[in-house]
Structure 1
Amino acid sequence: MAATAIRLPRSMALVAARRFSAAPALTATTRRCCIRSPTSAHILSTTTLRFLSNSSSSPAPPSVVEIDGRKYNTDKWFNTPANVIAAASRRLHLQEDHPVAITRQIIESRFPAPTFRYVNSLHPVVSTFQNFDSLGFPPDHPGRARSDTYYVNSDTLLRTHTSAHELETFRANASPGFLLSADVYRRDEVDRTHYPVFHQMEGARVWDRRTEADEKGDLTAAILRDLAKLQEHGIAVEDPNPPFHDETNPRQAPQHSPSEVEALGRHLKRSLELMVVEVFSRAKKAKALAGVETTDEPLRMRWVEAFFPFTSPSWELEVYYEGDWLEVLGCGITKQPILDAAGVPSQMAWAFGIGLDRIAMLLFQITDIRLFWSQDERFLSQFRGVSTDLDKLRQFVPFSKYPACYKDVSFWVGGDGSLHNNDVMEVIRSVAGDVVEDVQLTDSFAHPKTGRQSLCYRINYRSLERTLTNAETNRLHDDVNEALVQRLGVEIR
């Protein structure tokens, strides 16, 4: 998403269709024998070990799999590779002095307790009801496809967004607001800004008609009283949008009155503007501490109308930073049926979602998402002590730039000629792990006589921590080719 080398997602946590990823490394030498999470002693089940060892020659799934300490039965829907399973116990958003955890702390500081409760330790495996049905996703939504989502079985999956816990958190009704941070999982392309595991934060603030409404049952006055408690920030904000638009960004009538929607929108926007000011102010200070020259250009923000399945009206917040508009987050007024289903129909709420990894990449100027999963002291040592003193935060200083090694693989698509791009990416990543920096489809054509489809992918092998030798890169590429043949039924050209 911008003039920096960072693409911020179209709608962060609130949009199920956008991706962003990260997972622990399984190098050419370790992928068959070392299946431990790189930062813990957590070991996958024996069944999963056998599955990983044989994965390049046999696609048969295990009958039982252990994920973050819990065991699950699998079926034909199972498509979760061992490197993703291993990442499920990492929880970078809770790892002290980690950039993702530091980013979470900075955002939480703008939403203080006891008004906001922090929910950060929910297990990553959820039901299809939690992830899709509870939020109104239609049965044919593309996010439900095995090409997009990691399934354990037909009814169970690794959550694709923090919104999977929205219904249960509203139902708990433990505080007027909450911030829910978690690791989430999606199958996606391979490049410097995408990884199969990433982190999101979901936030919400509620008002209850039973205790806060006026004599007419209206919440406007209560919301405006809380708005008055929020500080001013003095930053230029472009907001040409009306509080709602019945055709393009509708109010939820008759449940929500026009004045309630206007007041709630103002409270939501001010709250998030204050959070963004905090993040970008710290980004500027971090540059200064690292001795990086900064511009005197003032921070600017703007609101644009948006659409999300869980909110209406909805907006996105963009920030003008270093010469371009960056899309930072998505938000809106919670759909009333979600609150009804949670057993709190008297409540009205706003909600937002934000990608922690993307914000951390911007905050620390980290241009390769794989670094978040590195155990190299040259990376980790740069953030020591920041969790306990956020004023120590400084911009990341790259410690190496090892050479890239590009190799192509061309093949005829087998079977009925259909092949999802994410399936190719998944096979390459599961074999090469963090040694693969990016993968690009460089050529596609159909044979003029047979109609067979041919694809060519360019794979960039580059380690973050050392120079790869030609011999090991060739062996790794041979393993990738073999896995593509065995798992996808392609014919190498």
Structure 2
Amino acid sequence: MAFTTRSCLCGAMVGHSGLRQWQKQGKELCDRRWWAWQLHVCLQRFEMPLRGLPSKNPPQLPALSQSHRRPRAHNPLGCWCYLAVCGLQMPLVIREFAMAMLWKFMRVARYSKTALPPKVRGIPVHSRHFSSSKSVPSDFAASTTCLNTVELLGKSYPQDDYSNVTEKILSKVGKNLHNKKHHPLWLIKEQVKDHFYKQYTGRRGTPLFSVYDGLSPVVTVQQNFDSLLIPQNHASRKKEDNYYLNRDHMLRAHTSAHQWDLIHSGLDAFLAVGDVYRRDTIDNTHYPVFHQMEGVRLFSCHELFSNIKDGESFQLFEQGHRTAHKQECHTMEAVRLVEFNLKQVLTKLMTHIFGDAGAQDKIGWAFGLGLERLAMILYDIPDIRLFWSEDERFLKQFIVPHICQKIKFQPLSRYPPLINDISFWLPSETYSKNDFYELARTIGGDLIEKVVLLDEFTHPKTKKVSHCYRIVYRHPERTLTQNEVHRIHQAIEESAVRELGVEGRF
């Protein structure tokens, strides 16, 4: 029949349990005319109707047992087929099974991809669905979802030439370590909240600062950059330093991406907490996903100058000139008072957190760089990867009755490192070190402790540039074997040649 391949496509959409049920009942699995009609309904969405098929009154479906009946809106034979073809959301297990069955049917029937209709031809054989709450293991290689979209936190984002987010990074979305009770990052967040709630209150004794720790990490480029007046050609916008879902959406690079929205909602004192994503170097203090907390406080003219003698004569704004100390629109008096207030807030906060720990000399840079830096100092945690550990030996050390209780982290057994070097000729001036770091992290994951640029060499005649990197492999929770590391290192070499266009010197 003319629609045999299309029938196979629809036939692959049936759920695994449905197949078993029909096999047990000994019923016919593949009523080709019925399946072709189902696909006909789907292809009408693509303006590709099949000739000679009825548009109404389809052949009846083989009966299912009561345990397999579902409402019409959730019929796996109609809905799942439509969802798979149109690239919308569907269960991962069903999708991967369906695509695997399709591939099997195509191989058995000796059909090529060109035998499929143009719109259907673009559907990948295997795909991955990313959930906001948990990651589902898969035996299929990671790739884009149907019709080149990424599904994240219940929404679909079409991919384009700016898309560079990887499966490993997407698997971190929704973990929300800062909201996981008794996690060290949660302890730090709660200490900061406790301090602000007690120290800064309104007239009726209610907390002045509100806390937002559940904001979605998916933001628009406008939120992440434009709302903060970051120029279009600024280096911070580069693909090499950020994770883009597409040209319009990205994983936030800082919690400041929410400032504009929160301020315009009427807030003038708030704390924003969340996971942020940046492409960076690989060592024990850097990780592509980390957590930030920032505070914002806005003052009216009366609030700022109310305690100043003759304060009514001062103004917040002026038509002045930009200097090293202030912007052209602010008065010097307002700038100095706000600066003093900020220093006072940070000093009190750091004294509250570190005061009894004897670490007053480590406050300046830690608070501004995120919760991990604070926790690493306060609890003596040596490796940033440990925050993602699910090892009970790590997590149980932070189960304490009070958030301010002193904790001295007891290191897990220190496993020996395995060191391998890799060198290659760079392809062109467009090469970025962060691209190689991201590739190594994607393949090696948390087995890689550190990647260091060991040497850079320029050939005197050809002017070609060579990089040599040292990769330190060490798992924080177990010993690695030479064979295990060799396989990973070889995969990095092959992927660097294939994906980055380098010329290996292996």
Which residue of structure 2 aligns with residue 488 of structure 1? Answer: 500
**1:68 aligned to which of 132, 149, 153:** 153
Change in CA separation of 1:79 and 1:265 when aligned onto 2, cut-off 3 Å: same
One-letter amino acid of the counterpart of residue 192, structure 2: I
Distance in 1 between the 2:132 and 2:411 partners? 22
List per-residue Cα deviations over 1:134-173 (Å, max 9, x = no partner): 1111111111010011100011111100110000011111
Q: TM-score, normalised by structure 2?
A: 0.66
Change in CA separation of 1:444 and 1:461 when aligned onto 2, cut-off 3 Å: same
Q: Does 1:249 align with 2:330?
A: no
Q: How far apart are 1:110 and its partner, in Å?
A: 1.8
**1:359 aligned to which of 374, 381, 398:** 374
Q: Does 1:327 align with 2:365?
A: yes
Aligned with 2:296: secondary structure?
Answer: strand
Which residue of structure 2 aligns with residue 197 of structure 1? Answer: 289
Q: How far apart are 1:360 and its partner, in Å?
A: 0.9
Does the aligned pair in 2 maintain the 1:62–1:74 contact within 8 Å?
Answer: no
Change in CA separation of 1:145 and 1:117 when aligned onto 2, cut-off 3 Å: same
Change in CA separation of 1:62 and 1:198 when aligned onto 2, cut-off 3 Å: farther
One-letter amino acid of the counterpart of residue 142, structure 2: S
Does the aligned pair in 1 maintain the 2:416–2:474 contact within 8 Å?
Answer: yes
Does the aligned pair in 2 maintain the 1:61–1:78 contact within 8 Å?
Answer: no
Structure number with the higher helix fraction is 2
Which residue of structure 2 aligns with residue 4 of structure 1? Answer: none
Mean Cα deviation higher: 374-383 or 108-117: 108-117
**Greater RCO between the two (CA within 8 Å, min separation 6)?**
1
Q: Does 1:408 align with 2:421?
A: yes
Distance in 2 between the 1:107 and 1:421 partners? 36
Does the aligned pair in 1 maintain the 2:131–2:151 contact within 8 Å?
Answer: no
Structure number with the higher strand fraction is 1
Q: How does 1:440-479 map to 2 (within 5 A)?
A: 440-479=452-491
Percentage of identical aligned residues: 38
Does the aligned pair in 2 maintain the 1:445–1:455 contact within 8 Å?
Answer: yes
One-letter amino acid of the counterpart of residue 196, structure 1: P
Q: How far apart are 1:392 and its partner, in Å?
A: 3.1
Aligned with 2:260: secondary structure?
Answer: helix
Q: Does 1:270 align with 2:336?
A: no
Distance in 2 between the 1:223 and 1:79 partners? 52
The number of residue pairs the alignment matches comes to: 361
List per-residue Cα deviations over 1:173-208 (Å, max 9, x = no partner): 14x410000100000100000010001111012233
Distance in 1 between the 2:178 and 2:364 partners? 23
Q: Does 1:144 align with 2:237?
A: yes
**1:172 aligned to which of 260, 265, 276:** 265
Which residue of structure 2 aligns with residue 422 of structure 1? Answer: 434
Q: How far apart are 1:40 and its partner, in Å?
A: 5.5
Distance in 2 between the 1:446 and 1:67 partners? 43
Which residue of structure 2 aligns with residue 185 of structure 1? Answer: 277
One-letter amino acid of the counterpart of residue 416, structure 2: P
Change in CA separation of 1:246 and 1:89 when aligned onto 2, cut-off 3 Å: same
List per-residue Cα deviations over 1:249-277 (Å, max 9, x = no partner): 21554xx4444333333222211110010
Aligned with 1:394: secondary structure?
Answer: coil
One-letter amino acid of the counterpart of residue 389, structure 2: S
List per-residue Cα deviations over 1:397-443 (Å, max 9, x = no partner): 102100000001111222x3541110010000000000000001111
Distance in 1 between the 2:473 and 2:418 partners? 5
Change in CA separation of 1:87 and 1:404 when aligned onto 2, cut-off 3 Å: same
Does the aligned pair in 1 maintain the 2:447–2:475 contact within 8 Å?
Answer: yes
Distance in 2 between the 1:73 and 1:393 partners? 47
**1:122 aligned to which of 195, 215, 227:** 215
Change in CA separation of 1:185 and 1:249 when aligned onto 2, cut-off 3 Å: same
List per-residue Cα deviations over 1:302-334 (Å, max 9, x = no partner): xxxxxxxxxxxxxxxxx524xxx85234xxxxx
Q: How does 1:97-108 map to 2 (within 5 A)?
A: 97-108=182-193
Q: How far apart are 1:105 and its partner, in Å?
A: 1.1
Q: How far apart are 1:122 and its partner, in Å?
A: 0.6
Distance in 1 between the 2:275 and 2:327 partners? 32
Change in CA separation of 1:326 and 1:266 when aligned onto 2, cut-off 3 Å: closer
Q: Does 1:206 align with 2:218?
A: no
Change in CA separation of 1:444 and 1:260 when aligned onto 2, cut-off 3 Å: closer
List per-residue Cα deviations over 1:444-477 (Å, max 9, x = no partner): 1122222222111110000111110111111111
One-letter amino acid of the counterpart of residue 327, structure 1: W
Q: How far apart are 1:246 and its partner, in Å?
A: 6.4
Distance in 1 between the 2:154 and 2:131 partners? 16
Q: How far apart are 1:483 and its partner, in Å?
A: 1.3
Q: TM-score, normalised by structure 1?
A: 0.68
Aligned with 1:449: secondary structure?
Answer: coil
Distance in 1 between the 2:244 and 2:308 partners? 41
Which residue of structure 1 aligns with residue 179 of structure 2? Answer: 94
Distance in 2 between the 1:104 and 1:139 partners? 33
Does the aligned pair in 1 maintain the 2:221–2:248 contact within 8 Å?
Answer: yes
Q: How far apart are 1:395 and its partner, in Å?
A: 1.5
List per-residue Cα deviations over 1:203-252 (Å, max 9, x = no partner): 0122335xx46xxxxx401689xxxxxxxxxxxxxxxxxxxx96312155
List per-residue Cα deviations over 1:343-366 (Å, max 9, x = no partner): xxxxxxxxxx55111111111111
Distance in 1 between the 2:146 and 2:376 partners? 35
Does the aligned pair in 2 maintain the 1:220–1:259 contact within 8 Å?
Answer: no
Distance in 1 between the 2:147 and 2:450 partners? 29
Which residue of structure 2 aligns with residue 241 of structure 1? Answer: none
Distance in 2 between the 1:35 and 1:360 partners? 34
One-letter amino acid of the counterpart of residue 361, structure 2: Y
Q: Does 1:220 align with 2:320?
A: no
Stretches (4+) displaced over 4 A: 33-40
One-letter amino acid of the counterpart of residue 178, structure 2: H
Distance in 1 between the 2:429 and 2:342 partners? 48
Aligned with 1:114: secondary structure?
Answer: coil
Distance in 2 between the 1:173 and 1:187 partners? 33
Q: How does 1:29-40 map to 2 (within 5 A)?
A: none
Q: Does 1:382 align with 2:394?
A: no
Does the aligned pair in 2 maintain the 1:37–1:89 contact within 8 Å?
Answer: no
Distance in 2 between the 1:482 and 1:455 partners? 16
Distance in 2 between the 1:453 and 1:261 partners? 48
